[in-house]
A and B are shown apart, each in its own frame.
Chain A
Amino acid sequence: MRHRLQFTIKKLVRMALLLLGVSLSAFLLMDAAPLDPLQTNIGQAALGSMSPEQLARLEEYWGVNTPAAERYLAWLSGALRGDFGVSLLYRRPVAEVISLRLGASVWLLLSAWALAGVLGLTLGVLAGANRGRWPDLLIRAACLTVSSTPSFWLALLLLMVFSVWLGILPIGLAVPIGTAAADVTLPQRLLHALLPALTLSVAGMANIALHTREKAVDVLDSDYIFLARARGERHILIRHVLRNVTLPAITLQFASIGEIIGGSVLVEQVFSYPGLGQAAVAAGLGGDLPLLLGITVITAVLVFGGNLAADLLYGVVDPRIRRGAAKG
């Protein structure tokens, strides 16, 4: 029990430090960017026709003349009290913008994540079981090709093939153009999420498949597989191999959360998918400091939570940890 408590406290302290570090570096990067929020968001022509009073009001709104330290501390003290401020671009509370965008992204992220895990594990075990033969070579070649391909380029390629040439999938957005939000059907949503989810999952899948393949090869070379064969066991792949590759697969699966969220920034941009990733790009390019920091913190929490979940699941799945902890 004491062990569990220590573990939890240690993790919470680590998360607090991580969030502080991440928000500070995001702020510093943003501050260092050679980007004038007025010019970007209002435009040179419009600025030229404004009176000095109007310009002063706009400069105050975008916080151009406030010192950096003061701006960060103001944001931090608000965030500690649970107030993430108001998005400068959307003129709505950051929490509201994020929850709206996350709601659009969550199914995309989840399905990409699940697809990456299931496909990666299956292909990895398949390749490992056929080591040196053509299924192994094919899977490895495909995985290496895919993982050295930038995801936005892959997204463009998929768009070209499925939306332009074949014309069977929509070219972008989360719902059909010109349809009221209430009239959008579930199949329509799924159809719009299909290509982005596929693109997102592919990179994670390749990584999981290649690692799982190595582990499966190790397991197949192990003494216990030798004995299983000598005992004439059937279904060795399911009974022994799958069981022993689950642990590393769990780690890989949860570690891939970061990759998938990171990938969503580019992929949502290519598919004009109105999700969190696209909001992050808009906030970054538009100088919307509160929104960018809010998104940064939320994604950091998601990635940290994923790794924490992997740690906790390890204790449930691995009998050596589960029973060892129960005794100690």
Chain B
Amino acid sequence: MEPILTADHLSVAFTRYGRGLSRIALSALTDLSLTVDAGRVTALVGGSGAGKSLLAHAVFHLLPRNAHTAGTICYDGAPLTPARARALRGREISLIPQGITYLDPMMKVGPQVRRGRRDGMSRARCREILARYGLGSEVEELYPFELSGGMARRVLIACAVMDSPRLIVADEPTPGLDSQTAGRVLAHFQELAEQGTGVLLITHDLELARTVAHKIVVLREGRTVDEVPAALFQTGEGLTHPYSRALWQAMPENGLIVDREVSVL
């Protein structure tokens, strides 16, 4: 399988001005490596503050100005430079963000999904994609405040799918959804992967990750500690890294043995 995205020893640090003119460097990601394959769902699992979302921001080159990155991100076999990221955004790489606040409150759903394009082809495609996610054409005329949480998530997915991307980065797409709706949203990710898209699912929910992903990457305090097939987290067999084992043991059906190290999750 051809990797569509690879991150190699990626680190992100922020500089802030401390007392006077002294600068303080805060490192958020210290050493992140992972690969995302085309046609597969890769889950990046980590606790809050582990730096998961920063990876998404780094891939799109949308980190704040005071951020410094080191290491490499490669897309489709070539380094992802800022200029290349600019050209790929909204064409080949798409972001699915967390929730409704990522929709412009003053704009109807239709124009947002179409990014303002009014031609017949965009309209037809928009209607087709919304229908695929169970949303009727009347949704196009709604404003974000009129959507339910589940509908908003599906609209955001529709936004991402609009341009047939080859890589989708989904940043915590399920919190706040009931398990049934969350399951439907995740099924859409599997469907996208089956059509050949590489999906990077960023989540803190190991349970969800192992049901939907092919591969699980475990992130801890800005550092990847393990990259294993998701199947290992079904049985717990073959999990060698102690942190991964501890995570597995903390799951409800495995005895809920919560290690102090894992409880931050």
On A, residues with C-beta under 8 Å from B are: 222-224, 226-233, 235, 239-240, 243-244, 246, 318-320, 323
Contacts and interface: CB of A to CB of B under 8 A. Distances in A.
B214 interface: no
Interface in B55-89: 60, 62, 86, 88-89
Nearest to A240: B104
Given A229-B62, A232-B86, A244-B104, A223 B97 contact: yes
A231 B90 contact: yes
B143 A323 contact: yes
A319 B95 contact: no
Interface in B78-129: 86, 88-91, 94-95, 97, 101-108, 115-116
A320 B159 contact: no
Contacts of B115: 231, 233
B91 A232 contact: yes
11 contacts: A231-B90, A231-B94, A232-B86, A232-B91, A233-B90, A243-B104, A243-B107, A244-B106, A320-B105, A320-B145, A323-B146
Contact of A222 (B60, B62, B101, B116): B101
A239 B116 CA distance: 8
Nearest to A327: B146
Given A233-B90, A319-B143, A227 B107 contact: no
The DSSP consensus for interface residues of chain B is loop
Contacts, number: 65
Nearest to B163: A231
Q: Which of A223, A224, A229 has the most CB of B within 10 A?
A: A224
| Contact residues on B (Cβ < 8 Å of other chain), bracket | 20 to 34
Interface string B117-160: 00000000000000000000000000101100000000010010
A230 B95 contact: yes
Given A319-B143, A323-B143, A323-B146, A230 B105 contact: no
A240 B107 contact: yes
A229 B57 CA distance: 11
A233 B103 CA distance: 13
Given A233-B115, A320-B145, A226 B106 contact: no
B95 A231 contact: yes
A224 B143 contact: no
A251 B90 CA distance: 35
B109 to A, nearest CB: 11
B62 A320 contact: no
Given A243-B104, A243-B106, A230 B89 contact: yes
B90 A232 contact: yes
Contacts of B89: 229-232
Given A231-B115, A239-B107, A319-B143, 7 more contacts: A227-B156, A230-B62, A231-B90, A231-B94, A231-B95, A232-B89, A243-B107
